Amino acid sequence: MKLLFIADPIEGFNTAKDTTFSMMREAVKRGHTLMACEPKDVMWQRGGKVTAFVREISLTGDAQNWFSAKQKAPDEIPVTLAEVDAVLMRKDPPFDSEYFYATHLLEQAEREGARVFNKPAALRNHPEKLAILEFPQHIGPTLVTRDASDIKRFHAEHRDIILKPLDGMGGMGIFRVGPDGLNLGSITETLNQGGAQTVMVQRYLPEITQGDKRILIINGVPIPHALARIPQGSEIRGNMAVGGKGVAQPLSARDRATAEHIGPILAARGLLLIGLDIIGDCVTEINVTSPTGFQEITKQTGFDVAKVYVDALEAALTV
């Protein structure tokens, strides 16, 4: 099969931990061929079909210079998305206007016959922080608002809160305000931009000290091990991007039940892969753009997550 990965620049991949790389490596083991591009390389013109200017790549096995490409910029080759076997959209957040526009181009490609994973409309309809609102039975006290007075009231009720922007990733822009309310006004102004930006506010969950658990769900079925991302030192965030320690652990009965409830619902909408984030027993985010954690779980447990994913991808392409 020919697989096209739409992602951030592949030159920046850390192959020791990158999940997209692990997908590529498993695909190559099975004889599939790889192409790569960025969202900016995708275009459509009346009279034609959605096309990407891509590089055909091979894996070298070298950890440093991990790929070789037949083409170099600006000599990428045009490929019609409908003519490849699968398009894997793996662009990291932020989910900004350009990401939004990319989903529309990819949805047009679907109308022309392309197979895109995760499904573009589902990516667009499930912003990673707001997607949890559909499942209130699984989340802690949460507020979504632009209004500073709403945030002040929420803090007065819950006393210890977390504030975060809706378009952040990797722990970016997350603040904690304790019972003393110190800097609540300033933090609110920073995040809501004077009422112009919507903010998510959640009650602080002390279970974060045990880890922010990433549960990977492939075609509705949870992987049996979570990756608990544990904050280090004085940090309140467990995200690996800010130094959190990733520890793989078996799913608890409660986490498995939550994943088995949410997973099939989202899989039916075209989300082949999601990453459910849980602190304690509360879902905090549902990651759909480029969930990570494959390599950490596989290295620590021996459970081959990439194999399960490519199995599911191949099965989806036969439907």
Residue whose token pair is 């850390």: 14
Q: Which of 213, 229, 255, 296 is catalytic?
A: 229
CA dist., res. 219 & res. 270, Å (int): 9
Q: Which of 90, 129, 203, 213 is catalytic?
A: 129
Q: Which of 25, 55, 115, 164 is catalytic?
A: 164
**Residue 214 annotated to the active site:** yes
**Residue 281 annotated to the active site:** no
Q: Which of 110, 128, 255, 285 is catalytic?
A: 285
Q: Which residues are within 8 A (CB) of 147 and not within 5 positions of it... i.e. 6 or more apart?
A: 192, 195
Beta carbons of 92 and 86 less than 8 angstroms apart: no
Q: Which of 18, 76, 212, 277 is catalytic?
A: 277
Closest C-alpha among 146, 168, 120, 197 to residue 284:
168
Q: Which of 118, 192, 239, 287 is catalytic?
A: 287
Q: Which residues are within 8 A (CB) of 155 and not within 5 positions of it... i.e. 6 or more apart?
A: 161, 177, 181, 184, 201
**Residue 237 annotated to the active site:** yes
CA dist., res. 225 & res. 294, Å (int): 10
**3-state secondary structure (DSSP) of residue 269:** coil
Residue 254 phi, psi dihedral angles, 5° rounding = -65, -45
Q: Which of 18, 214, 219, 255 is catalytic?
A: 214
**Residue 277 annotated to the active site:** yes
Strands (E), the chain: 2-6, 33-37, 42-43, 51-59, 67-69, 77-80, 86-89, 116-117, 142-145, 161-165, 175-177, 199-203, 212-218, 221-222, 225-230, 245-250, 273-279, 282-287
CA dist., res. 183 & res. 177, Å (int): 7
CA dist., res. 80 & res. 110, Å (int): 11
DSSP 257: H
Q: Which of 237, 239, 255, 296 is catalytic?
A: 237
**Residue 229 annotated to the active site:** yes
**Catalytic amino acids?**
129, 164, 214, 229, 237, 277, 285, 287
